[in-house]
Structure 1
Amino acid sequence: MVNLISLHQVEVFKWVFSVQSFDYPTDTLLPGMKIGWNFVTGKELYLSSWKNEEDPAPGDYTYHCDPSGYLQNVLKKGSKEVYRSGPWNGLRFSGATNSRQSPFYTFGVISTKNEVYFSYHLLASVITRFCLNPNGALQRWTWGDRNKGWALYLSLPTDNCDTYKLCGGYGSCNSLNSPVCGCLDKFEPKHVEDWGKADWSSGCVRRIDLNCIKGDGFLKYTKLKLPDTRNSWFNATMNLEECRKVCLKNCSCMAYSNLDIRNGGTGCLLWFEDLLDIRQLAKEGQDIYIRMAASELASQVKSNGHRGKSLSWIIPLSAGVILVILSLVVWIRRRKIASEKKKGCCGRNGNYKMDYLNGNLSEEYELPLFDLSTIAKSTNNFSGTSKIGEGGYGPVYKGVLEHGQEIAVKRLSRTSTQGQDEFMNEVMYIVKLQHRNLVKILGCCIEGEEKMLIYEYMPNGSLDSFIFADDTRSTVLDWSKRFHIINGIARGLMYLHQDSQLRIIHRDLKANNILLDNDMNPKISDFGIARSCEDDKFGAKTHRVVGTYGYLSPEYAVHGVYSVKSDVFSFGVLVLEIVSGKGNRKFSHPDHNLNLLGHAWTLYKEGRSMELLGDFPVDVCSTPEVIRSIHVGLLCVQHRPEDRPSMSSVVMMLNNEGVLPPAKQPAFFVETNTPDSEFSSSRHAHSTVNEITITTLDPR
């Protein structure tokens, strides 16, 4: 029998167990894996990472069951908390964004006067392991007999919102928003200037201060990861109303909630300090009642109750009138713009002069306007030292606003003929897109002949400067960071294709259009040639193919047909480049003339996919993740669009266990001597292709 408890706080390579290892009844939750405290001996069982992949000495990260206050699990780096599971609610930890019922094991919490611990119990004959990597990733793996390999079942932390108290007190993190941090309703940033710089650590404060003497009340918030419970109080027998009364009588009590959510909810959990480490959850979040000033609650009741009843007949009538007026305004504006175009707003080359943008761009797209003097000052009058890039429609500069915020400024060149269309295209799409994996536009500057777009500044530049760099720079991105980047790009594309207001096809996804922020989070940029397409199966057809060699899907490059599956192809190329550190078009091998796709396909067929990494170091625990990423990349670059998965399927395949379908031979299997550049091609009746080079702009 394997003695798991004695295996020092647990590393993956040694903590492997199966159901046959234990002689316990299957209907009892037992310590197959046990993390917690023995109060009699004073000893703690916890997980510790290795120092590195080769050295099993204790590393920087530890995972604890924390019984101070109410029970929750905490991941630490040294003495600093980096992730918190949320309190146990009878079914799961309240912060679990990927919790699900497993056919392989069950888990729970055991609490007695002598000990408290978190435990797994296996339900089936399966080999599984739980590992804490040297880089701080908690992962559960299961062994697949068919594939003879480990498959990742779940991983924590999942995203930025799992970062401990990222948004400060009374701040709430939502990974679907940009920025991810916001204040709970009825709260506002404590230091507005800091929040403008994406420093949310100061948190939020109530709009109206509490006044316990005059009377406070509670406001219900739903679908949240419950706050840190290390300074909480709990009672397992109270109901929710009794819990409310106890909290109301104590002026220091800031919030209350049910302890256990099963069977309609039981027990009482109280918080006595600022509420920390809250995040918004779509499905599994819980209810919490937060203390508010009576005047704040009265104003809400008045607006939601009395006015709603007495004026209920006015609301639908007013809404109808407003809708008619807005429709009329939009119709008049469109007629006006169309009339201006007919009167000569287009040059001989068909590009709009955009003189009508003065004022209208900000109004129509709700885009903040910056003064030219402000932008000129921030960029040192567009000096050469502030210039960080050059593109087909002008230069890009780094600027610093007066309050310290760093920005990237895309400046449309006055001599540009092609950039004006791309300028408007970028505005039209990116203003309507809000996702943490898309570059964020902050505003625009339009004065006279000057037309500029203002973006958030990406301090780490573009992805290509890391993965295609020399050994020193490329090693900055270890495997965990590369996999994080792959996932971020996948989620950004899934949003574009599926969850945004418009179905957006990027059409130029490539390594140097992926920007990296301070934490190496990827941001998809450059929407100058993006298109909206309602039909995700058939897409659209064009006689002007634009994009970058090496990333174009065959149906688009040859026939001008593009769809969301064109982006999927480009993503597949990008995945293989990120894994290998080699560019598809620049790849060469002494033994064959295949490009990167062909080389990856050959290794995959021979069961040697790991060789795609070359000398890049990867720990054993991450090997299945690498192999799965390569497999998914090859599924994305299959020749036929209908064979390629959707981006939602890609996200699922990257982050879940399961057998993947076999990959078919990729398109553009053999290298050809076409130039490695961006291009625009016009296809004519006699199949003649005129190619010109375009240099696209990377906002940083």
Structure 2
Amino acid sequence: MQPHKASSVTPLLLIFLHCLAAQVSSLDTLKQGDQLNSSSQLVSANRVFTLGFYTPQDTNNSYLAAWYTDGSYTPVWIGNREKPIPRNTNPILTIDNTGKLIITHGRGGESVEIYASESGRNLSATLLNTGNFVVTEMSSNGSAGEILWQSFDYPTDTLLPGMKLGVNHRTGRNWTLSSWFDESDPASGAFTLEWDPSVRRLLVRRRGVIYWTSGEMKDYYLENFRIKEFQNIIPPDAYNLNYNFSNVTSDGEEYFMYTLLKVPNWAPNNRKVISGWKLDYQGDLYDNDRPMIARPSLCYGYNTEGDAVYTGCERWEQPTCRNARQTFVLRSGGFRRVNGGVANSVYDRNSSLSLSDCRNICWNDCQCVAYMHGDGCEYWRGKNLEFEQSLDGSAIRQYVLDTAPSGKGWNEETCKDHPCCIEYNSAAYLGHGSVHSEGQAIAVKLLSRQSGQGLLEFKTELILISKLQHVNLVKLLGFCIHGDDKMIIYDYMHNKSLDFFLFSPSKREQLDWQKRFNIIEGTAQGLLYLHKYSRLKIIHRDLKPSNILLDENMNPKISDFGLARIFKQDACEANTNRRVGTYGYMAPEYAMQGIFSVKSDVYSFGVLVFEIVSGRKNNSFHEIEGPLSLVEYAWELWRKDSALELMDPTLRDSCVIDQLRRCIHIGLLCVENHAADRPTIEDVVLMLKNEMTNLPLPKSPAFITRNSVLEGVEKSTPEKLSANEFTLSELGGR
């Protein structure tokens, strides 16, 4: 009985295996009468690509899409991007008996037509290993014939190896990428990637305006096409990017195409490389496994050539109220009016406006200071608005207009024709306010014409300051005078200033605890040199994050001596009737009585320590019942034995707890109410370096209310000199 039972099962098993084999062999092809629904997929013969129905995150729309089988579930092609299908209506892809490749769904018998052929043709649709989805006419023997339609002729936002970008003059067809409308809507957005055969270059346009170009194709590479992180180390050739570029002109076609040269060394386990140039909804171009190719989203239309970040950006006409120091930065928080009250926003409910449209409209509106994209655009307008940054991750995020501190330097546009720049042989270098002088990156700063300082006095003081040599001071290289213009030339710092990182939600994580502690210690060393070891005692009087510049290794350099006072070594303090500086960093005796000394800088240093530890601005506290400043907040936490709550949350993984607690302790000693009770900066350096030294208990710090000092503070106003001091005019932009 046993053999008989076995022989009866075998035919059933063979039939099952035969059916399974037939199903596998046809996984890449949809034949006439077949149906592909939301639970089934086509997979190319070598399992490189998959085609099926795709639903973007946080939506209920379905799209026919193709994606890399082994990659992220990100479409490289979408067949019905302008006609989404409700997900719950059971979409089905089929080739009907009239020769149409269509998507049907359960809403009133509606359908979306992908391709329609002549009636009576026997068609099939196959997903190829290239990612191309092709419709062919089946011959009588069942083999595929001529390609009647292909997805490569209808690209969406992704260029795959072997796809064409250009024009077919015979058919009038343009092969162009167009971005998604936003991150969850595949409809055509504001940006396009095109091939310009007349110049042999790639173009990214926004609403027709050229934002970025690849530069001319030369031999086998494109001028501006390179890996950003390594462009100063390796040449921008095709080999480094693993691409082989082709420019084809034949049979009425002019197009650009790329293929992959080989599996690069960085591909793990020599797996198949997933490549596809994606033009995202913000206009940026990147490949799946590679660094960013181009950043058109950072192009603003002013000259940015030569800067690594902005390589390839094009110029276009700018509103007169904008300048090359301004950009929009994504920040969490909200606006309030300077004189009190909530700042109301303005809405534009036009749902056809994309994120980049919102930016463009705000950029061209001289009153606009921020925008946000949702169902249309939301804007904040007015000159009396103040942005209050929040550390709460759930807070509203807006694109806020950010202006680099005025006078930090000049770019090529403002400097190129000025006699002082010509005198320094300056050509474009195009970081934030830098120019290039004889192969060296420099920064050029223009003094305010209202400074009231005489020419001889200006020269004498600059000669003195230029003698300062310390690793934690920015190096002054020289000066230039032309008519009423007075310029200072100094080293250019590649990482801008401390506030650029410290108060940016997207950049503060680059400052781990070790970097922050090095900045605290380095700044203290720089102050120690100014107070004790330079030939003259120098009080800075404007120590704050924006005046701490960072070099390529994130080492701090104290800058901006525009408010500095140079004392004789035997002088202890001075008095002035007018206070200059920055609210929040002023010592109480200076803000109230005009008395300043080396202990004034120590107080500012203490505030700076709290900001570095917490990642918060001293004046970011506006709660009615809460503390008025970061100093008061730190003191309240200390009294409750909760000082570590001051720590920036991004430091949790890198923080040395004892070291951080010690820095908070030192900061509280520096901001004590009476100047005599504060340590000298020499004491501070010893306390930072010697962790075994016992620290005295801090006394209550000075709490300064806004109304108590505003009447006495006049920023950028020079004062008369006392017998004990020299002066430097404040540096300011025009």
Structure with more relative contact order (C-alpha pairs < 8 Å, separation 6 or more): 1
Output the TM-score relative to the length of structure 2: 0.38
Bigger proportion of residues as helix: 1
Output the TM-score relative to the length of structure 1: 0.40
